[in-house]
Amino acid sequence: MQLLDGKAIAAQMKQEIAQEVKQLIAQGGRAPHLAAILVGNDGGSETYVASKVKTCHEVGFESSLFRYDNSITEQAILDKVAALNNDPAVDGFIVQLPLPKHISEQKVIEAIDYRKDVDGFHPINVGRMAIGLPCFVSATPAGIVELLKRYNIETQGKHCVVLGRSNIVGKPMAMLMAQKAYPGDCTVTVCHSRSKNLKEMCLSADIIIAALGVPEFLTADMVKQGAVIVDVGTTRVPSTTTKSGFKLTGDVKFDEVAPKCSYISPVPGGVGPMTIISLMRNTLLAGQKAIYKD
């Protein structure tokens, strides 16, 4: 069994991106600028956004964080999105999800200029990805594809089971694994909470991407010998053994599944760091106008 070490690959990519930023500046350009909108005090969102801001600084990007109270109106968020759309100093921005119930996430996502949508959530980016056109690919699936690529994982003709059908991970992941490319060319099955023969599906999988958000859902009896397992789960489970009082727990029962795998990503240190670095990569592409010219 070999670990898919997202932490190590992300560190390598951080160096590569920092190098490209230096080049951009040496050629008379400016550092890419990522802005983030954070509403409320959700613990997970706070951690993710803090990590994104920190990584921006490490690769040499500009960053701005706009924080709002839970009571902010939908209109005020839409106004801020419009302002960022029109700010030439901002190359890309994200609105951290989830948003409070009184704000329509879909409305906010659709208000973002797709050319600055470095999260890849806008329907134009999702649609372009679906038909294989250049676009911003959302960070978690993009990070997983990069991880498989850097470990030279064979994907052509393999059966890939994606557990979960969220707009952020499951759906785009399934599309990417089925695309005519490397990594890709898989036969893809998408399973979800209503799937009936989930265990049989998993047992026939060469690659399983677990993105259900159910801690330790995938157990050894569901995994074929030699399978590749990617764990996208990041549930904060209360813990007495950590300083923060919680422990990030994946969707895979790691200790019993790992011995059966050819490759497996750990939690933490697997998909998480790859997600953040993929957002940085998208921001670099936005700064370089590499995908959308104007």
Residue 206 is a catalytic residue: no
Spell out, one character per residue from 154 to 193, where the chain touches ligand GUN: x when CB under 6 A holds, - when not: --------------x-------------------------
96 is catalytic: yes
**Smallest distance, Å, CB 232 to ligand GUN?**
10
* Interface region with ligand GUN, contact rule CB under 6 A, candidates 56-64, 91-99, 173-181, 244-252: 91-99
CA distance 26 to 269: 33
Nearer to ligand GUN (CB atom), residue 32 or residue 92: 92
With binding defined as CB under 6 A, does residue 232 bind ligand GUN?
A: no
Pairing mode, strands 246-249 and 235-238: antiparallel
Kindly state the smallest distance separating residue 235's Cβ from ligand GUN, in Å. Answer: 12
Q: Minimal CA–CA distance to 110: which of 88, 100, 95?
A: 95
Kindly give the residue spans of alpha helices, DSSP state H, lying in the chain.
6-26, 43-59, 74-85, 105-111, 123-130, 139-150, 170-178, 198-203, 254-257, 271-287
Smallest distance, ligand GUN to C-beta of residue 98, A? 7
Residue whose tokens read 């995994």? 223
Choice from 13, 21, 77, 94 touching ligand GUN (CB under 6 A)? 94
Rule CB under 6 A: which of 123-152 touch ligand GUN?
Answer: 139-140
What gap in Å lies between CA 48 and CA 275, rounded to an integer?
Answer: 10
For ligand GUN, the closer CB: 95 or 274: 95
Q: From the list 20, 91, 119, 216, which residue makes contact with ligand GUN (rule: CB under 6 A)?
A: 119
Cα–Cα distance measured from residue 154 to residue 148, given in angstroms and rounded to the nearest whole number: 8
Residue ranges of alpha helices (H) inside 183-247 are: 198-203
* 54 flagged as catalytic: no
